[in-house]
Structure formats: C-alpha cells, structure tokens
Amino acid sequence: MAEKIKKAKQPFNWVSMLMFVTIFQVISAMPVLLSGEEVNPELLTVFGGFMLVEWVYFICARWLANQRAVELEIIAFMLSGIGLTTVASVYPDYALKQFIAILIGLVGFVILLAIMRNVEVISFLRPFVAVAAVGLLALNLVLARTINGALNWIEIGSFSIQPSELVKIAFIFVGAASLEKLQSTRSLTKYLVFSLGCVGALFLMRDFGTALIFFATFMVIAFLRSGDIKTIGLLGVVSVLGAALIIFFKPHVASRFETYRHIWEYVNEGGFQQTRVLIYSSSGGLFGLGIGEGRLRNVYASTTDLIFGVICEEWGMIVAFTVVLCFAFVAVYALRLARNARSTVYSIAAVAAAAMLLVQLALNVFGITDLLPLTGVTLPFISRGGTSMICSWALFALIKSADIKTYPKLEKQMDDN
C-alpha cells in the first residue's frame, strides 16, 4: 500500500517527455533546414536557439525554482515549435521574429506568474490594468490603419502589434480580481463598464472575431460569479449591446455570412480560402504530405488564419488531432486546478483563460472548415504573429497560477500552517 501511495506522488517525468518533444522538433525541423542546396545558418541558429531555451528553462524551473508541475510549459513549447516550423517553412525570413516572440512570451509568462503569486498585488493592480487596457484600445482606434477591413494593428517601425491580443490578458486579469468584490453593486457596475468598453471598442475596430471571444469569456466569468439575477441582467445588457452593434455594422457582418455554409457556390470568391482548406487538408491523410510539400501554403493567410489546414495537409491528421487534444487537456487541467485553488481569483483566472483558448481554437478550426463563419482569429501558439504568441503564453500563466505547486515556498508555508 505504501508503495502505491509513493508511486502516486511521484512527480511528472518531465525529462522523458521533453526528450520526446525535442526529438519530434528535430525531425520536424529537418525538412526546413535542408530545403535548399545547403543548410540555412540563420534557420539553424533559430531552431537551435529555440531548443536550447527550452532545455534551459526546464532545468532552471526544476532545480532552481523547484517546480514540480511543468506540463503546461511542455505543451506550450511543443505547440510553439509546430508553429515555428510551419512559419519558417513558408516564410524563412520571419522565423527569427517568431522565435523572438516566443522568448518575449516566455519572459512574460514568468513575470505574470510572479505577479499572480499574491492576491493583494492582483487587487492593487486591477484598476491600473483596466485603465491601461481601455487606453490601449482607444489608442488603437486612433493610430491603427485598416487592414482587411479591420483596425487592429499598430505599426512601430518594422514591427506591428495587435492591442486586442494584449487586452485579452487584462480582460481576464481584471475579471478575476473583481470576482470576490462583485457582491458590491458598485464593483459590478465598474466591471460592466469595463467589459462594455472593451467589447464596444473591438466592434468599432471591426474585429468581430476577437469581440466574440471576449463576450464568450465574459459569459464564463459571469457564470462563475453566482448565476443570480444580477448576472442574468448583466448578460442581457451585454447581449443587447452586441446585437445593436452588429446591426450598426450590418453590411460588413452580412458579407461574412453571405458565404457561410455556401462556400462551394463562391469557390473563387468569398469561399476561396475555405474551399482550398477543405480540399488540400483532406489530401494530407493521417501522416501528411511532408513539411513544405503542401499547396495550401500558397493561399493567402496560410500561416495565420489557415494554419490549421496547413498542419492537416503537411503534418497529417494525427498531428492536427494532437494539437486539438492539447487544448482539451489544458481545459480539463484548468478545471481540476480551479476546484482546489486557494482563492476564487485563481479559479476564475484559470477557467476563463482556458475558455478563451478553447473558444479561439473553435473559431479558427471551425471557421476555416465552414462549420462556423470565418472570423479571421489566430490559432494560439501556432499562428504567425508576435502579439498572439505573447498572449498565448500569458493565458497559460493565468492557468498555472491556480496551481499552488507553482509557488513552492508558499505551498510550504500553507502546509506548515
């Protein structure tokens, strides 16, 4: 009996899992590195640096920070590696930027974990984060230029950022910090104004996909609040506002729905991308055509909106299904953590972050396959884009913060008490 208990308490064997992930990454990177007459030194540096950072992080996390639960980080690195390889195979010159985005996301992950350690710090930062989020969206409306019908990119030199991705983090952070104070009508009103401000700004930016993600996340936060009359009224107000804004922007929204479920009638027009996804991705079979051998990579937005289709075609359905399973695991993991979290702040942060990731995954995968309207949202960790990558790592930090094992010293203090 004692031996069974001991085995149950054995830590996650991260070394074996990381070895498996690294071998998978090396095999995946080989077609990209050997695609030319000789090995591209820049790509070799990028992939070598990525794997080095991966191992250095886990060694430091395990032996310096005494981390015992690193499952989320392994998933994050595996998904980031798939994205890096796919992006590098289509746009070799962008590989370095994608790698830098992963580094920034990892640093942000560590910093946010430190901030989330203390509930008092979270409560103190809540109003500042809320103001910064609304201000960032307002700045976006002023400075951003229209790209593909949406105002969601701000260009700074040779780089560009998507403020709405950063505001996703703030939206959950503020919601989680406000949860314990929602018994107060004043706090409830403040959070309502903040939520309406974020969603309203996204509609003005015509970023309907992200607005839908925000609204779905808001519903999760409101549901976890308690489900009383105030919550129902809150959801009703937001729904009415959303419907009104959709009617206001009806011409643009109507064009989205014009081809929905009718893509084969617009094969070379509005349904061009989705029909190509369905045709090419099915040709990949279980094991794929091989990285760099697909045709969907030549279609516009292949490394952003359509990247899941590229994975199906070139990597195969097994890898594509594994990607979906990773997010399903994260959702179950977050729910398990939420049950035993030391504060409702962490419970709501974990569940809301997991819900946001799942909704975004669903909008991306079902959108390109015409099961849902195409909204143009990215696939977390995998799609090309620095701001999206940073946001994905931050959402994982919000989930991981609910695990008391993330903070060994704090866990020891609680055990002693």
Same domain, 241 and 354: no
Q: Which residues, 6 or more positions from 288, have their beta carbon under 8 angstroms from its beta carbon?
A: 294, 312, 313, 314, 315, 316, 317, 319
* Global confidence as pTM: 0.89
User: Are 70 and 12 a contacting pair, CB within 8 Å?
Assistant: yes
User: What is the pLDDT, as a whole number, of residue 406?
Assistant: 84
Note the pLDDT tens digit of each residue in 103-142: 999 999 999 999 999 988 998 999 899 999 988 888 888 7
Same domain, 222 and 177: yes
404 is written with which tokens?
A: 């008391």
Instruction: DSSP for 220-289, please give it.
Output: HHHHHHT--HHHHHHHHHHHHHHHHHHHHTHHHHHHHHHSTT-GGGGTTTTTHHHHHHHHHHHTTTTT-S
Same domain, 110 and 232: no
Same domain, 108 and 172: no
Report the chain's mean pLDDT, rounded to a whole number.
Answer: 84
Pairing assessment for the beta strands 159-161 and 154-156 based on DSSP bridges: antiparallel
Domain of residue 325: give its range.
1-115+259-417
Last residue of a domain, one of 229, 257, 285: 257
Last residue of a domain, one of 203, 234, 257: 257
Same domain, 268 and 361: yes
Q: Kindly report which listed range (40-54, 186-200, 272-286, 292-306) carries the lowest average pLDDT score.
A: 186-200
Q: How confident is residue 1, by pLDDT bands cut at 50, 70 and 90? A: very low
Q: Report CA torsion sign: 336, 339, 345, 346.
A: negative
User: What is the pLDDT, as a whole number, of residue 373?
Assistant: 83
Q: How confident is residue 14, by pLDDT bands cut at 50, 70 and 90? A: confident
In the predicted structure, residue 239 carries a pLDDT above the cut 70 = no
Q: How confident is residue 351, by pLDDT bands cut at 50, 70 and 90? A: very high
Q: How confident is residue 220, by pLDDT bands cut at 50, 70 and 90? A: confident
Same domain, 285 and 403: yes
In the predicted structure, residue 240 carries a pLDDT above the cut 90 = no
Q: Report CA torsion sign: 122, 175, 198, 237.
A: negative
- Residue owning tokens 């930090």: 397
The average pLDDT across 171-188 equals: 71
